[in-house]
Structure formats: structure tokens, C-alpha cells
């Protein structure tokens, strides 16, 4: 349950009954040491704190300060420059909000000072940051040992109002939290069978249409790439799940609504198969279903906002296990499309399950198809955990993707996928190799491989190297970031 928002037009000059307060100040004149020319909560306490530290007002910089006010309220102050990129604003606000949320308050007060549209944008980021960090996330610590405490119940906003009640902020926050909550579940609580049941329940609640293709059906259809991975698990509870959301039809919307396919990798646990991962790299592989969770998070946010976009969500849900039935190196499998694949490495299972899933999605000729996957280690090597990589088969899509990354605060970086990379995927005995054992530029090879199955329509592939970042990223304070939901929602809004 997300915290309830209460809005007040008047600024918060005195703490009153508030016990946890975040004061967001506008950028001060860098050439002046004088304090802001207006009253705000804890002004005198902040002045004393700066004096004790021998700091000028303008030296507050990006690091938040906090102190206990007379009367016992905890107050934090931060300067946020509306001209800065959203990522920088989010990061500053996250650091400041964390100072308050460490005490697990039921209510926090946000006092945002300044004027104009830019300040309203800052207020929206402040509310969003409080929502995504104050909500309850999965934890299995027993009673008396839990560090999570009770979730934030109320946010009281002072000095800035939003006519629609911050609907877009709440939609994005709910999508992000769905993604993180699913990704954080331990693997024994999110097997493919359990995951399918959860999606079925979510679809029923949201009014989405639900259909699934289980292993038996996929084997009959000839989806050999997906089945090759799925057959290693006992029971064979894998499936390609199709969830459909249709926008309301009225007037102009009935003719102009775009259709978008969101495709997600949903490997609930990845052992690496017969090419078994070492313990260091197998730990955390319950998060390998994050791409599917991102797709669901975007779909939920779009539904909450009522975006005039038709969405088909295609989720490749399976596990990659080692067993007598598991696929192995040198196998040749035939995809739903009819392409034959030579298996080179069983830990490159993500591109296998996505191949047949992309084929199914592309057959409906969407106006845009985007797939999300925690796909390659080389993408993490290239970018670390602070950006995610993007590929596209249209140059204009890369420009739109980059713009959406900047405005959403979820930064992406475009990579090439020129045709000559295919030299590394040439096979003597099949149509294509699954990957290369050398591993060089595997993120690019994986994108070239997936492109074989994406059809001729507009397509983008996001390799989610920023799905997990120690200490948090941007607005999000948990290691699991939910990266991709904000970016994807922005892409849909821009349609």
C-alpha cells in the first residue's frame, strides 16, 4: 500500500506537530553567502549547524544536512537545482529522505520552496522518492529482528500543489514497487508455477486478458529454443505468458491508439545449466526474472494512468537447471521461426527463451516492440550498474530512448549492432550459433541474435545492467532498483 498524500498550498514555516520534515530549498546564488530571504522550517537550526561546521549557505551542495529541532522534530535540508538532470535531483532527494526514513516514521512532511513549473517538477520527484523508499518490500526477518518496520503511511506536502493529485507519480511508483517486490522474492517463493499464478491474479485484478503457452503446447508448436531451456526443470512448469491490456476506445483514440509489445525475460533461477555458474556468480540469480517484472511494472503504471496505448506483455517464464534432461553444448535446436541454433554455452539461456517469445510477439505486428532482460555480463562490464544498455533496429528509436532516459532519470547508453558482428555467430552445422565461447562483446552478439527473431517492425532491446546497484540508484535506495519502469513509462507517454 502506497502512502497517502495530503497537499497544503501554504509553506511550512514552523514544525508544529510534524515530527519528520524534509525541507527542499532552491539553488542559491553561488556568489552570495547570505541565507535565503524567506522563512522555512528549521531555518535557525540550520544556520547554527552551518556556523558550527564553518560552512556558508551556498556550500551545502549535494549533501543533505539534518538536526533535531527544538521540540524534538527531526528535520533534513537539501538544495535541489531544478536545472540539473532528473537523475541528479533524484539522487539528492533520496539521500535526504533516507535520513528521515531510517526512523521508520508513519508520516513525513515535505516542504518544497521556490516558484514555477520547475519547482513543481522537484516536488514530484520528492513525492516519488518518498513513495518508492517508504513502501514495504519483501523481507523474511522474523518478528523482533525485522529491520523493515512499518511502511510510510502519509506524506504531507507543503508549498506546492498538483491538480491531479500526483497521479503520474503514483502510477510510476506503483509500477516500480511491483517490479522490485517480484524481483526480491526468494526463488523458492517464485518458481515458474507460482509466478504464473501471481500474474494470473494480477491480470484478473487489473482487467487484463491472460493466456499462457505451457511446455506441452510450446513443444507441439515447435518452439524448440524455449523448450530446450525449460526441459531441464522438474516439473516442467515453464510457460510463455501473454497478458493483454487494451486502452479505452472513444473518439479520436479509437483510431490512433498505438500497439506496443513488451517482452520480458523471466528466468526465476539461473544455475547456468550444465555450464554451471560458480557460487559467486550464481548467488542472486533469482533476480534473473527482472526483465519480466519490468514489463509488468510498465504495464501496471500505464494502466493506472489510463494511457491510450494497447499493450501486449509477453513473458518468458522458466528456470535454467542442470538435469539429465537439460540442454547441453553442441545440441541443435529448431526455433518456432524455423531457424536452427547450435548450442555453444548453456548459460546463454536468456536469448534462447526470448527468441521464441519475440517470434510470438512479432507475429501481431506491433507498432513498437521492446524487450527487457538481465541478459549479459559483458553489459555490466561495459557500463557497471549505473546505466543500462539499449539496442534498436531504427536510428530514431535510439534518439527517443536516450531522451526518455534523461527525462526519467533512468539513464541508458546506446550500443552498435552492425551486421559484421554476425561473423562471430556463424555456425558450420546450423543457421546460427547461440553465442561465442570467447565472450567478447557478448551484449552486442546477443542483440544481433535476438534481432533474428524480432521481425521487421520497430524493436528495441534493453540489457538491464542497472537492475541491481549496491546502495541504490537515482531515487531508489534499495539494491534492486526497478530500473526500466520509469524509462518505459516515459516512452509510452511520448507515443
Report, as residue numbers or ranges, the catalytic residues: 277, 351
Q: What is the C-alpha to C-alpha distance for residues 311 and 243, in angstroms, rounded to an integer?
A: 8
DSSP state for residue 152 in the 8-state scheme? P
Can you spell out the DSSP letters for 252-307? THHHH-EEEEEEEEEEEEE--TTSPPPHHHHTTGGGGGHHHHHHHHHHHHHHHHT-
CA 491 to chain CA mean position, Å:
13
Angle in degrees, CA 85, 181, 177, rounded to 5:
35
- The shares of helix, strand and coil residues in the chain, as percent rounded to the nearest 5, are 40, 20, 40
Alpha-carbon distance 494 to 272, whole Å?
38
CA–CA gap between residue 466 and residue 472 (Å, rounded): 10
User: In this structure, is the dihedral angle defined by the CA atoms of residues 117, 123, 124 and 126, taken in order, positive or negative?
Assistant: positive
Q: Tell me the β-bridge partners of 244.
A: 209, 312
Contact call for residues 182 and 201 (beta carbons, < 8 A): no
Q: Which of 95, 106, 110 is nearest to 135 (CA)?
A: 106
Distances (CA, A) of 134 to 17, 121, 143, 473: 20, 20, 20, 15
| Three-state secondary-structure class, residue 88 | helix
Alpha carbon dihedral 245, 236, 452, 463, in 10-degree steps, equals: 70
Amino acid at each position: 500500500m502506497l502512502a497517502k498524500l495530503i497537499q497544503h498550498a501554504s509553506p511550512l514555516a514552523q514544525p508544529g506537530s510534524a515530527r519528520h520534515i524534509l525541507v527542499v530549498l532552491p539553488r542559491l546564488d553561488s556568489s552570495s553567502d547570505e541565507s535565503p530571504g524567506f522563512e522555512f522550517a528549521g531555518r535557525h537550526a540550520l544556520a547554527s549547524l552551518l556556523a558550527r561546521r564553518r560552512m556558508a549557505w551556498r556550500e551545502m551542495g549535494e549533501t543533505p544536512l539534518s538536526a533535531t529541532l527544538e521540540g524534538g522534530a527531526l528535520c533534513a535540508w537539501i538544495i535541489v537545482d531544478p536545472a540539473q538532470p532528473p537523475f541528479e535531483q533524484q539522487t539528492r532527494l533520496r539521500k535526504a529522505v533516507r535520513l528521515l526514513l531510517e526512523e521508520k516514521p508513519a508520516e513525513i512532511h515535505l516542504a518544497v520552496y521556490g516558484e514555477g513549473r520547475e519547482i513543481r517538477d522537484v516536488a514530484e520527484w520528492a513525492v516519488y522518492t518518498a513513495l518508492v523508499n517508504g513502501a514495504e518490500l519483501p523481507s523474511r526477518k522474523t518478528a523482533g529482528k525485522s529491520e523493515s518496520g512499518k511502511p510510510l503511511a502519509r506524506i504531507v506536502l507543503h508549498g506546492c500543489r498538483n491538480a491531479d493529485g500526483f497521479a503520474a507519480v503514483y502510477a510510476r511508483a506503483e509500477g516500480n514497487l511491483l517490479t522490485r517486490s517480484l524481483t526480491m522474492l526468494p526463488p523458492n517463493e517464485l518458481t515458474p508455477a507460482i509466478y504464473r499464478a501471481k500474474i494470473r491474479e494480477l491480470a484478473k485484478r487489473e482487467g487484463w486478458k491472460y493466456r499462457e503457452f505451457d511446455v506441452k503446447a510450446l513443444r507441439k508448436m515447435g518452439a524448440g529454443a524455449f523448450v530446450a531451456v525449460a526441459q531441464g526443470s522438474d516439473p516442467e512448469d515453464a510457460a510463455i505468458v501473454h497478458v493483454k491490456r487494451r486502452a479505452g476506445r472513444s473518439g479520436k483514440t479509437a483510431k490512433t491508439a498505438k500497439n506496443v509489445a513488451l517482452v520480458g525475460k523471466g528466468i526465476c533461477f539461473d544455475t547456468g545449466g550444465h555450464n554451471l555458474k560458480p557460487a559467486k556468480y550464481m548467488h542472486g540469480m533469482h533476480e534473473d526474472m527482472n526483465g519480466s517484472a519490468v514489463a509488468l511494472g510498465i504495464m501496471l503504471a500505464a494502466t493506472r494512468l489510463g494511457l491510450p496505448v494497447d499493450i501486449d506483455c509477453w513473458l518468458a517464464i522458466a528456470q535454467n537447471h542442470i538435469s539429465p534432461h537439460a540442454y547441453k553444448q553442441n545440441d541443435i535446436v529448431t526455433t518456432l521461426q524455423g531457424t536452427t541454433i547450435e548450442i555453444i554455452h548453456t548459460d546463454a539461456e536468456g536469448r534462447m527463451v526470448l527468441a521464441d517469445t519475440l517470434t510470438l510477439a512479432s507475429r501481431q505486428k506491433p507498432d513498437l516492440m521492446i524487450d527487457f532482460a538481465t541478459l549479459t555480463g559483458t553489459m555490466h562490464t561495459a557500463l557497471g550498474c549505473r546505466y543500462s544498455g539499449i539496442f534498436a533496429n531504427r536510428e530514431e528509436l535510439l534518439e527517443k530512448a536516450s531522451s526518455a532516459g534523461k527525462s526519467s532519470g533512468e539513464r541508458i547508453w546506446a550500443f552498435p549492432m552492425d551486421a559484421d558482428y554476425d561473423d562471430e555467430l556463424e555456425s558450420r552445422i546450423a543457421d546460427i550459433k547461440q553465442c561465442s565461447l570467447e565472450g567478447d562483446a557478448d551484449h552486442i552478439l546477443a542483440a544481433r541474435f535476438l534481432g533474428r527473431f524480432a521481425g521487421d517492425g520497430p524493436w528495441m532491446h534493453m540489457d538491464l545492467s542497472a537492475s541491481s546497484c549496491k546502495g541504490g540508484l537515482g531515487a531508489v535506495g534499495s539494491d534492486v532498483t526497478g530500473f526500466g519502469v520509469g524509462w518505459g513509462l516515459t516512452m509510452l507517454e511520448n507515443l
